[in-house]
Structure 1
Amino acid sequence: MSQDILKAGVIGWPISHSLSPRLHGFWLDQLSIHGRYDAVPVVPEDLASFVRSLPENGFQGVNVTVPHKEAVMDHCDKIDDLALRIGAVNTLIVDDQGLILGSNTDHYGFKQNLLASGEIAAGPKERAAVVIGAGGASRAICTALEELGFPKIHLLNRTVSRAQSVARDLGGPILPGPLSDLPALLPDIGLLVNTSSLGMKGQDPLHVDLSDLPMECLVTDIVYNPLMTDLLRQARERGNKVVDGLGMLLYQAVPGFEAWFRPMEKPMVTDALRKYVLAGIA
């Protein structure tokens, strides 16, 4: 596909709050690429027509956010195995034949954020992980934790049936349970992850007593507004290492940017990028 301006974007409903245009715009400027990345509002009933028209409208591809990550799978020509297992697609790539390829880079973003922090290494772990929340993000995160070598992944949710559904779909070392199981599990875990919206700006707080958490346990939250959630603040104040959620957003963007804009240099997640993107949070 030949065109003067390489075009990509992010689709969702609503979408005006997205930080992705700011993020990708930073790399486009930094790497001197003649391209653009726009936030495109797409209502659910227009999803199919919009996705199928990506090639003719000159798109190299798009990111996909709520509420379309699962529904968009019906409109892809090909979906990679990882995204099929997770059951969600957040990145579409239009190939040279005009076919639409679906993948999931949330998995990569979460995993890479932990590894880049230096607080966790790849390979077998002695202690289990606890994941709070059984929404869409939890599927990608549980898969990443399995790859990182956690022997058990306790998936806790207020509605246990949702956690059971995720565990059944993914298989592997995922053990579903109610959120009320958390206090009993805390003393024996090596990682605590919040994948729910609790603690996000405008949402209810996440009430967790970390008194029995091992000091060597790492705590992370996929929420990045606020950057230091109550969970992370409480963990840090008691001496645990923490990893904020902004890095997941930044790292998940790398594979898509590389596929759409084909830069000569790999886009890097740097302190300058973090500060620039954070400045866009209202």
Structure 2
Amino acid sequence: MPTLSSLVNFPCHIYDSVKDIPPTVRPGGRVDKTLAAITLRSVNDDGVSGLRRPHERPADRRAQILRHACALFARQGFGGTTVRQIADAAQLLSGSLYHHFASKEAILLDILEGFFADTLDRHRASLATADDPIVALRGLIRGSLTVIAERPEASIVMVGEIRRLSQTERFRWLTERTAETTAMWRGVMEDGVRRGLLRPDLRPATTAHLVQTGVWAMAQWYRGNGRYDPDEAADVLVDLFVRGIAGPEAYRSRDLGGILGDAAASYPAVGVAPDRNAS
């Protein structure tokens, strides 16, 4: 290992390759080649320090870049983030970042591909084991909240960027992924209506869209280490979506019945028709 004094006294030259570096001659005529690893390539590859960390693999550095980029995208938006900012956060030279990703768009592509792969895997697993639409709905909600809890920044990026990105050629595949996930939610709602467990007067596609977007909007504030973990939060949301927020006696109220109007009367199981003359 080079000593501090040898580093200080080492000529301040940067060479293109190891073979171009003159050997350091130690007292007694011994040739020391331990400093020959400092080259132009090593400086560019290894960030501001210029020294490769022996324990750090390229895959680790790639994951580090993704982590910092995702945090920046979530905080200031994809368009508001520069490659220089990502490189600075990851303690890299801008040129070194391009050894791992061809562009800023390539970084975002990697983030979103991982996000949707995780989401779809969880949704498929939930539907494969559920024999009841309400249980399936809970599984979809729980899976979504787990992804939000484990990938909070990526979830914020997805919610904030997906509409704009899906209109660009490179991210056209996002339309297919979102259509696949939406079909899962819609299928659960349709099954619930067929089995008589969900209201037949509401369009399953509309209900699915409202519930799905409502859950994913929670990416802006939900964290799995808060009051509710994904399991508990899923129970609360299923109860909210299936039974609503009004108390059982509220539908018999003249005021609430009047506000709901035909909506309350159209589905007797929800409540009684409003009677404005009732006392």
**Does TM, scored on the shorter chain, surpass 0.5?**
no
More helix by share: 2
More strand by share: 1
Bigger radius of gyration among the two? 2
